[in-house]
């Protein structure tokens, strides 16, 4: 079940009720903190099962991160703008791995949720993802809080994984099982869907790190504004820091916008440009560049340059 995107609100932290919900396997499973447990198994010295109280007893971290859906895996060329900025609270996965003691042959971490259902012609599926052990250890958090409140049922209550630099598909909800393995799992959500060939490459890779992207939020797409000097503003984000955003009005040059620094958390960065809009219709575009030198493509990809249309009115 893939629901439609709500409009991204123009606020730094997205209220929980505005965060998109992506449930592939039907309604959320019914779990609670009294009965939930997480097993850590496979290539570990000490297989373990943690309950919610044990998880709360481990060291906690809190950070803000962009939470972005990669888009419908069955329609890989359709752009998506389902993106939010959320504060998560939880336990670094590294803490839990430390308790279990990965064996030297362990290379991959499999993360499995408690939901079960059918998708893309396959039935009786679980939602399973995997990450290289080193990356999972460095960044994944087992989150139980979202914007200072317990996770809501649709967002993975009581515990989900969050991989802050990666697309949301890697952030497994209703997490109940972690397996350490020597190889990647063959599964509809790991090797069949959510894979892609990056521009300039020929290898098929799993969808992981977010792409560089930006979105214009003001003025509102399709709306009217008073003619004159207006603020053209929005947010930019990537798996690393965004280093520049440019804005173009109609067929004019790409102009550098003012851009906030990212700070210590992988959150989105606001950009703005004050620009004179003459009376009449306008096309406004924005494009971001990140620290790795990646630039948003003009067309043809999910993170293609965002474009809005507005009309400036003389007596607006």
Q: Which residues bind ligand MTE (CB under 6 A)?
A: 19-25, 69, 113, 115, 127, 155-156, 168-169, 171-174
- In the bound complex, what is the minimum distance in angstroms from residue 28's beta carbon to ligand MTE? 8
Give 82-100 as a DSSP string. -EEEEEEEEEEHHHHHHHH
Cβ neighbours of 148 (radius 10 Å): 10
Q: Which residue, 90 or 113, is less far from ligand MTE as judged by CB?
A: 113
> Are 162 and 147 spatial neighbours (Cβ–Cβ below 8 Å)?
no
User: In angstroms, what is the minimal distance from the CB of 116 to ligand MTE?
Assistant: 10
Q: Which residue is nearest to ligand MTE (CB)?
A: 113
Which residue do the tokens 């079960």 mark? 116
Alpha-carbon distance of 171 to 26, in angstroms, equals: 17
Closer to ligand MTE by Cβ: residue 115 or 139:
115
Q: Whose Cβ is closer to ligand MTE: residue 25's or residue 217's?
A: 25
Q: For residues 84 and 243, which CB has a smaller minimum distance to ligand MTE in the complex?
A: 84
Q: How far is the CB of 96 from ligand MTE (least distance, A)?
A: 18
> Would you say 148 or 252 has its CB closer to ligand MTE?
148
Query: Least separation, in Å, of the C-beta of 152 and ligand MTE?
Result: 8
CA–CA gap between residue 87 and residue 147 (Å, rounded): 5
Neighbours of 130 (CB within 10 A): 24
For residue 65, what are the CA distances in angstroms to 85, 282, 306? 6, 32, 21
Strands annotated E in 155-299: 160-162, 175-181, 195-196, 205-206, 213-218, 224-226, 228-237, 242-249, 255-256, 258-259, 269-277, 280-290
Give the angle subtended at the CA of 132 by the CAs of 88 and 197, to the nearest 5°. Answer: 95
Provide, rounded to whole angstroms, the least separation between the CB of residue 192 and ligand MTE.
Answer: 14
Nearest-approach distance from CB 118 to ligand MTE, in angstroms? 12
Which of 61, 72 has the CB closer to ligand MTE? 72
* Closer residue to ligand MTE in complex, CB, 173/210: 173
Give the residue with the Cβ less far from ligand MTE, 22 or 230: 22
Q: How far is the CB of 114 from ligand MTE (least distance, A)?
A: 7
Of 37, 36, 40, 38, nearest to 179 by C-alpha is 40
As a whole number of angstroms, the distance between CA 117 and CA 99 comes to 32
What are φ and ψ of residue 71, in 5° steps? 115, 170
As a whole number of angstroms, the distance between CA 84 and CA 9 comes to: 8
Rounded least distance, CB 168 to ligand MTE, Å? 3
């Amino acid at each position: 079940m893939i629901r439609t995107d709500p409009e991204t609100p123009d606020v730094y932290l997205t209220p929980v009720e505005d965060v998109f919900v992506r449930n592939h396997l039907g309604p959320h499973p019914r779990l609670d903190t009294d009965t939930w447990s997480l097993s850590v198994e496979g290539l570990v010295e000490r297989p373990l099962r943690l309950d919610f109280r044990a998880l709360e007893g481990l060291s906690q971290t809190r950070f803000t991160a962009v939470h972005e859906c990669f888009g419908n895996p069955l329609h890989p060329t359709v752009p998506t703008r389902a993106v939010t900025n959320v504060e998560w609270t939880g336990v670094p996965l590294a803490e839990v791995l430390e308790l279990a003691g990965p064996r030297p042959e362990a290379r991959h971490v499999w993360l499995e949720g408690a939901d079960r259902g059918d998708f893309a012609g396959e039935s009786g599926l679980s939602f399973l993802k995997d990450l290289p052990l080193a990356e999972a250890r460095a960044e994944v958090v087992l989150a139980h809080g979202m914007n200072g409140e317990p996770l809501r049922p649709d967002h993975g209550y009581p515990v989900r994984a969050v991989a802050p630099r990666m697309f949301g598909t890697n952030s497994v909800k209703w997490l109940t099982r972690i397996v350490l393995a020597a190889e990647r799992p063959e599964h509809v959500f790991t090797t069949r869907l959510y894979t892609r060939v990056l521009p300039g490459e020929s290898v098929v890779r799993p969808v992981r790190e977010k792409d560089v992207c930006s979105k214009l939020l003001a003025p509102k797409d399709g709306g009217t504004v008073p003619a004159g000097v207006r603020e053209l503003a929005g947010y930019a984000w990537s798996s690393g820091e965004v280093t520049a955003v440019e804005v173009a009005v109609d067929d004019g040059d790409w102009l550098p916008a003012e851009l906030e620094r990212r700070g210590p958390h992988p959150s989105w960065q606001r950009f703005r440009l004050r620009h004179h809009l003459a009376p009449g219709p306008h096309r406004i575009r924005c494009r971001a560049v990140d620290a790795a030198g990646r630039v948003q493509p003009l067309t043809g990809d999910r993170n293609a340059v965002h474009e809005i249309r507005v009309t400036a009115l003389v007596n607006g």
